[in-house]
Chains A and B, each alone.
Chain A
Amino acid sequence: MTIAWYLAVSALIFAIGVGGVLVRRNPLVVLLCLELMLNAANLALIGFSRMWGNDDGQIFALIVMVVAACEVTVGLGVIVAMHRHRLPIDVDSMRELQG
């Protein structure tokens, strides 16, 4: 199988992720879609790693996973804080800051 197929799948996942961020209003789902985008990059990295036959891409992918976990943790933390302050859990209602 050529690298093109890996890339196509990865690009598709990335696009799904972007689409999700663009259309979903629930911040939890938005976070999931961000995960999708990062994992699309991981897929591409691992595919390239296999293509070039070196480990750099795999190591990179591992690190991306760690970072993705951190991001989601922070995101969840903020969402919890918003919930505690009885703010609506909806990205479209976050419009105090604008202009």
Chain B
Amino acid sequence: MIAAALIHPHGPYIDWAALSPLVALVGGSVVVLMVGLLRSRFARTQVVPFLTLVSLGVTIGFVIWQWHRHVAAISGALAFDQLTGTITLLVAAGGIAATLLSWRGQAPRESAHGDFYSMMLGSITGMVVLVAAQNLVTLFVGLELLSIPLYVLCATEMHRAASLEAGLKYLIVGSVGSATLVYGLALIYGATGSTDFSGIAGSISQGHSSDVLLLTGIALLTVGLAFKASIAPFHQWTPDVYEGAPTPVTAFMAVATKAAAFGVLLRVFDVMLPAEHLNWRPALLVLAAISIVVGNVGALGQSSLKRLLGYSSVAQAGYILAGVAVATTLGARATILYLVVYLLMNIAAFGAIVARERMTPYGDDFDAVAGLGAEDPWLAWPLTIAMLALAGVPATAGFIGKFFLIDALVGAGYTWLAILIVVGSMISLGYYLRVINAVWMRSAPGPSASAAAGVPVIAGGSPEADALGQTHIELRFAAVVFGGATVFFGIVPQPLFDLAQHAANTLSGAL
């Protein structure tokens, strides 16, 4: 008997259909890495990103195929439910956008194309694992699988000191965050004796809810996750890393990491720890408030667009955290809705910024977009729409997102935070409108500087690739599509409601 068991070990039953999005991502990552080793320049520069897109497209296809299933896969370590599906869609869309943004960029060329895109797919895999995680171990694995490739991606423009600096800073502060998180997970395990979310929730409901170990663990876990979502006061890496990292990577971090981080925050607080909500809710609400203030105030007076968007992302993280913190179904829906909206408006903005970075010698400075309205309306409009949407102006999706967050907050009795969101939005106009002002009301600096000066060597100009006058068709495409979607969903928000409702269904049992 024993011999037979040794010869035929029984692994856990694996539902490959449910796992298929993950398989596509991991497979894509491996294939991309291998193709990147080919000698042919065409294969490296064109086929690799194409395969990345294919892999992400297949992932989205699988997610849609499995849309209505609700499966616990691999002995319950991962849950492929509506929340996972929705967040997977978001991060895959973010990945597609980031691939388009980096297609002819500097970063993949310097770090080898295969490595770059493989790393990105690896990070996306981590995001999916993180959101699907059903126990502490997979949560940690997902988080690290997300983070470590990002550290590398930030440092890929190796000739720039700022890129390396961003990578190392992110690594150091990020590792402190991870260590905090894993220590918190250890304490939660110690308090409940279980690594399963359901086991932990069960243990808490049996009366461990005010255990010191458990509460300290939750505190550390909160900090670790807040760190990833760039919630103040754990946000300080954000502006530096956003500014230093290659811009497509910044775009990817802004949208995909945020989606994954809030997906797991929803999962942890609203699924694993709902019984504790009286304890964690005030903490999260206060963190949200601090983020809104710090992010909006910090963004004033910045001269780098990426840094501005970094601070802005801190503020937006505060808005989204408010949706998690109210711990109602309405709040969960508003959170998901805002994540979708956030993806749309940020990609529209970053598409335009990346294009200007390649077209002008001013990098991501305000000068790069000065006079854009007259010069290039196809980039100016998406950027304008994105800024208006981030500020929450009606007829853009940003308004719908904020409206529902405020609705959820007021519905749950947190009117003060709703007011703070509105005040924050008012302050945010102070810097978003500066961008619009530069785009439409300033003239381009210097006599056709963009045409004459070219990209200076220090910014990594290489004449062969950075030929000015390039149409940057893929950047335009990304900016216009996402900018158009921002307006479309601002007028026709119904599909977003449906999506948010679908995703929040997973949580409604717990809330």
| Contact (A75, B158) CB under 8 Å given A44-B190, A52-B193 | no
**Alpha-carbon distance between A41 and B140 when the two chains are bound, in angstroms:** 12
Q: How close is A70's CB to chain B, nearest CB, in angstroms? A: 5
Check if A3 is an interface residue, CB within 8 A of chain B. Answer: yes
Q: Which of A7, A41, A78, A81 counts the most chain B CB atoms within 10 A?
A: A78
Interface residues of B in 143-182 (CB under 8 A from A): 144, 148, 151-152, 155, 158-159, 161-162, 164-169, 171-172, 175-176, 178-180, 182
Asked if A34 contacts B175 (CB within 8 A), the reply is yes
Which residue of A34, A74, A81 contacts B151 across the interface (Cβ within 8 Å)? A74
Q: Closest B-chain residue to A49, C-beta based? A: B189
**Alpha-carbon distance between A64 and B179 when the two chains are bound, in angstroms:** 9
Which residue of A51, A85, A96 contacts B158 across the interface (Cβ within 8 Å)? A85
B158 cross-chain contacts in A, Cβ below 8 A: 81, 85
Chain A residues touching B, majority SS: helix
**Alpha-carbon distance between A49 and B16 when the two chains are bound, in angstroms:** 31
**Alpha-carbon distance between A23 and B179 when the two chains are bound, in angstroms:** 17
- Return the CB mask of A53-68 against B: 1 if under 8 Å, else 0: 0101101100110010
- Return the CB mask of B230-264 against A: 1 if under 8 Å, else 0: 00000000011101100000000000000000000
Total interface residues in chain B, CB < 8 Å? 43
Q: How close is A28's CB to chain B, nearest CB, in angstroms? A: 11
B161 cross-chain contacts in A, Cβ below 8 A: 82, 85, 87, 96
Asked if B189 contacts A78 (CB within 8 A), the reply is no
Asked if B186 contacts A27 (CB within 8 A), the reply is no
Q: How close is A71's CB to chain B, nearest CB, in angstroms? A: 5
Asked if A56 contacts B189 (CB within 8 A), the reply is yes
Asked if A60 contacts B137 (CB within 8 A), the reply is yes
Check if B136 is an interface residue, CB within 8 A of chain A. Answer: yes
Asked if A57 contacts B189 (CB within 8 A), the reply is yes
Check if A2 is an interface residue, CB within 8 A of chain B. Answer: no
- Return the CB mask of B303-315 against A: 1 if under 8 Å, else 0: 0000100000000
Check if B205 is an interface residue, CB within 8 A of chain A. Answer: no
Asked if B136 contacts A60 (CB within 8 A), the reply is yes
Check if B438 is an interface residue, CB within 8 A of chain A. Answer: no
**Alpha-carbon distance between A71 and B147 when the two chains are bound, in angstroms:** 9
Asked if B186 contacts A45 (CB within 8 A), the reply is yes
A96 cross-chain contacts in B, Cβ below 8 A: 161-162, 165, 244
